[in-house]
Amino acid sequence: MSKERGQFANKQGTGVVMDLLAKNPPGTTSAEVAGPLWDGFRKACGGDLETAVPMLPRVLEMPAVLKMLEETMAAKHRIERKAVGILQARQYRPYGQPKVEEDEPPLDPRTYMPLSQFFYEHLREKYVLQPTLLLMAHACLKGCERYRKAHATIMLVSRVLAGELDEATWRYTMHWRLLLQTVPLHSARDFGHFCSVLYPGSREEEVDDLCMAYAAHSSEPTSAATALEFLTGKLLGKQELRYRKWTKILKWKDTQHRNSFRRSDFLELCQKMFPHIRVDVTGAEYDAAAQRYGGDRVPLETLAYVLCCLDTMNIKDKD
C-alpha cells in the first residue's frame, strides 16, 4: 500500500468510526455474537470479543445490508469467472508433460475461498482498518439476523455465511443477476420472456406455472428485484426449475442409492452432460463443494446446485 493511500485510509477509517460511534446507541455485548453466522467474525477479531464487539454498534437498514451482501457476492463472482476463463483456456497437455508456468496465468488465491471467509477479505480491502472492518461486519451480520426472514436473498447469503447452505447456491443466483442485465423486466410479459431465456428447453406449461406463481407472489410492479426475490425463495424451498431438473437426473443416475457421488463418477457424468466444459472446471467445482464435507463423496443435493452452475456455464459457452 502506498504512503498516500495509507494516510487517506487512516483518515477515512477514523472518520467513519468516529461518525458511527457518535450516531448509534449502545447495547451490544459479546454474548450476542454467538452461533455459526458469527464464526468468521470471531476468527477475524482473533477471539478478542471484548474489544472487537463495538460498544456503540451501527444499525443498518435492510437496503444497506442487502447492498453489502450483493457487493460481496459480485466481487467474489468476478474472481471466479476469471478463474473459469483461465481454466477453459488451458491448452491440452499429454499426461506426464510438465506444466510451463509462464504459459498459464495464475489463479487468484481467493478463487476457491468460501464466501464466509471472503466476506472479511472484501471488507478488509474496502475499509483497510481493522476496527472499521469489524464495525461494518458486525453491523451487516446483525442486519442479517434482523432481516433474514423478511428477504430471501439475505436469508440465502446468511445461511451460506453460517455454513448451512452450499457455496453453489449463491453462485447460481449470480447467473440470474447477469441475465437480468440484458433482459429488461417491466411487465408480467417480460417476466415470461425472462423465464424462457433463463430455462431454455423447459416445457411451456412449466414456464406458465412459474409466471402464475410469480404473479401471486408479489403485488409490487414487475422488476429485477421482485424477480430475484421470487426465484431465490423458490431455490431455498428446493422448487426452482433447474434445481429440480438436476436433482431428478442425479437420483436417476444414482443407481446404488447412496445419495452421493464420488469425484470420478461426477466428472464422468459432467463430461457427457457438458462436453463444452473442460474437466479442470468441473473438477474445481466438485472440489469446492467437497470442502464442506470432506471424505470422498459429496451429497446429491449439493451436486444438484453445482450442476445448476455448470448448466448455465454450458449455455453461455455454446452461445
pLDDT at 189: 87
Give which of 51, 17, 39, 18 is closest to 135, Cα–Cα. 17
Q: Check the CA dihedral 200-202-203-205 and report its sign.
A: negative
Q: Which residue has the higher pLDDT, 233 or 107?
A: 233
pLDDT of residue 21 exceeding 80, the answer is no
β-pairing verdict for 260-262 and 297-299? antiparallel
Q: What is the pLDDT of residue 88?
A: 75
pLDDT of residue 262: 94
| Helix %, strand %, coil % of the chain (to 5) | 70, 0, 30
User: Can you give the pLDDT at residue 23?
Assistant: 41
Q: What is the pLDDT of residue 93?
A: 52
- Please compute the mean of the pLDDT values over residues 81-98 and round it to a whole number: 67
At 71-83, the pLDDT tens digits run 999 999 999 888 8
Please report the pLDDT score of residue 247 as a whole number. 96
pLDDT (tens digit, 9 = 90+) per residue, 139-193?
999 999 999 999 999 999 999 999 999 999 999 999 999 999 998 888 888 999 9
Total residue length of the chain: 319
pLDDT category at 17 given cuts 50, 70, 90 is: very low
Q: Which amino acid is at 274?
A: F
Q: Please report which confidence band the pLDDT of residue 219 belongs to, taking 50, 70 and 90 as the band edges.
A: confident
Residue type, 90: R
Q: Would the pLDDT of 271 be above 80?
A: yes
Whether the pLDDT of residue 102 is over 80: the answer is no
pLDDT score at 8: 41
Question: Which residues, in sequence order, are bridge partners of residue 298?
Answer: 261
Is 225 within 8 Å of 186 (Cβ atoms)?
Answer: no
Q: What is the mean pLDDT of the chain?
A: 83
- Is 198's pLDDT higher than 90? yes
Using alpha carbons only, give the angle 266, 269, 275 rounded to the nearest 5 degrees.
120
Distance, CA of 295 to CA of 289 (rounded, Å): 11
Structure confidence at residue 34 (pLDDT): 77
What cell numbers appear for 267 in the block? 466428472
pLDDT value of position 20: 44
Average pLDDT over residues 197-204: 90
The residue among 129, 156, 134 whose CA lies nearest residue 66 is: 156
At 157 the pLDDT is 97
**What pLDDT shows up at residue 213?**
93
List pLDDT tens digits, range 302-317.
999 999 999 998 665 4
Helices (H), 128-187: 130-147, 152-161, 167-180
CA distance 195 to 229: 14
- Give CA–CA dist 86/258, Å, rounded: 34
Mean pLDDT of 114-135: 92
For residues 126-148, give the mean pLDDT: 93
Is 292 or 315 the better-scoring residue by pLDDT? Answer: 292
Task: Mean pLDDT check: name the lowest of 59-63, 221-225, 315-319.
Answer: 315-319
Name the residue with higher pLDDT: 203 or 28.
Answer: 203
What's the pLDDT score for residue 27? 47
